[in-house]
Structure 1
């Protein structure tokens, strides 16, 4: 029967995609580990492949270049960093959840989040990272601006609020907290701070 003939092919395609996804995730984690251990200059396609247990050719096949690999690493870490934020419509509540969740996630001290902060810090002096992180930061600011604009539109945020100013200030605060946590984890209680910072922004922005 036609349907029976197509079933094995569909299963094979799914299995191949699952392998591809798993390989990509392993390569990105290997890159993150190298960044945390030795900095961005230690990241090469060959070393990433070796760390993940694959050949350099596999890394090249997935990413093509070190620049593309770092770009994919930054995007993979930043996307979905705050669980649940994507389920809410733009507005004050999503903004507050994003702030609280971001600070809270910084407390997990995961390899990926540490790698992102280290890459971001190096972007000011490394040309291969500067354009990448300008794009990443602008994407984050755009999301924050959307939340503020939506809050102004529905009346939950003051009409005289400037979305761009808020976006710059929030991003600066979140990244700054992250860097402090990276340098001295004992000095930053992210669980308590997450609620404090989120509530401060709610009060500052509420109409």
Structure 2
């Protein structure tokens, strides 16, 4: 008789989180239940509760997982650039936010539901603030190498808002109409404009 393999905790937790993403996509966050997630993951509700506590504990964990995946994909894009020039690092940040892992149907529905819920759930709001600050901070760090601090603040805030806006518009499209390439091009154009505006100041700094 073949023994049934007992899955390690990290593997079981990942399966439950992925099942939660699928259920949220199918019925929405507010209608999602522990029972539905357990059924999707093919485990008992007791197992889900053992790992995550209640529904909110699981949802908090799901959002942390989404943030982790976005952070890791951003690191991969930045590491894959041909050099460490700030302009290319900024493009890598743009690319990571429009990577297929962030703009597929399930990911976009989950992000949208989390954004909406963060208006009422303090822990989700805290995690969203972390995500916002991380994007702004990473962009500003690169822009500071290309322009004055005042301009870097404006450029980083503007590009972060543009990325979020493009993503949000794409997320509200019902029929797989999100054009990743168009979104990237718009963000690239904004970057080019900011670099052009900063050129005189940058040249002044280099001549000092």
Q: Structure 1 length normalisation: TM-score?
A: 0.72
Q: 1:116 aligns with which of 111, 131, 135?
A: 111
Larger relative contact order (C-alpha < 8 A, sep ≥ 6)?
1
CA deviations on 1:116-138 (whole Å, 9 max, x unpaired) are 222213433xx23xx23322232
- Residues 24 and 62, structure 1, Cα contact 8 Å, conserved in 2: yes
1:181 and 2:176 aligned: no
Aligned match of 2:183: 193
Alignment coverage as a number of residue pairs: 186
CA deviations on 1:128-158 (whole Å, 9 max, x unpaired) are 3xx23322232123223433443355x3233
**What SS does the corresponding residue of 2:150 show, helix, strand or coil?**
coil
- Residues 99 and 194, structure 1, Cα contact 8 Å, conserved in 2: yes
1:19 and 2:8 aligned: yes
- Give 1:73 shift: 0.8
C-alpha separation in 2, matches of 1:140 and 1:167:
14
Aligned match of 1:48: 37
**What SS does the corresponding residue of 2:98 show, helix, strand or coil?**
helix
Contiguous gaps of at least 5 residues in structure 1: 1-14
CA deviations on 1:170-199 (whole Å, 9 max, x unpaired) are 443333323322332455311232133134
Contiguous gaps of at least 5 residues in structure 2: 199-208
C-alpha separation in 2, matches of 1:194 and 1:77:
21
Alpha-carbon RMSD: 3.1
- Residues 159 and 190, structure 2, Cα contact 8 Å, conserved in 1: no
Q: Superposed, which structure 2 residues align to 1:28-43 within 5 Å?
A: 28-43=17-32
1:143 and 2:134 aligned: yes
- Residues 16 and 41, structure 2, Cα contact 8 Å, conserved in 1: yes
Q: Superposed, which structure 2 residues align to 1:31-180 within 5 Å?
A: 31-81=20-70, 82-83=73-74, 84-85=76-77, 87=79, 92-105=87-100, 108-124=103-119, 127-128=120-121, 131-151=122-142, 153=144, 155-161=145-151, 163=153, 166=155, 168-180=157-169
- Give 1:38 shift: 1.1
Displaced runs of 4 or more, over 6 A: none
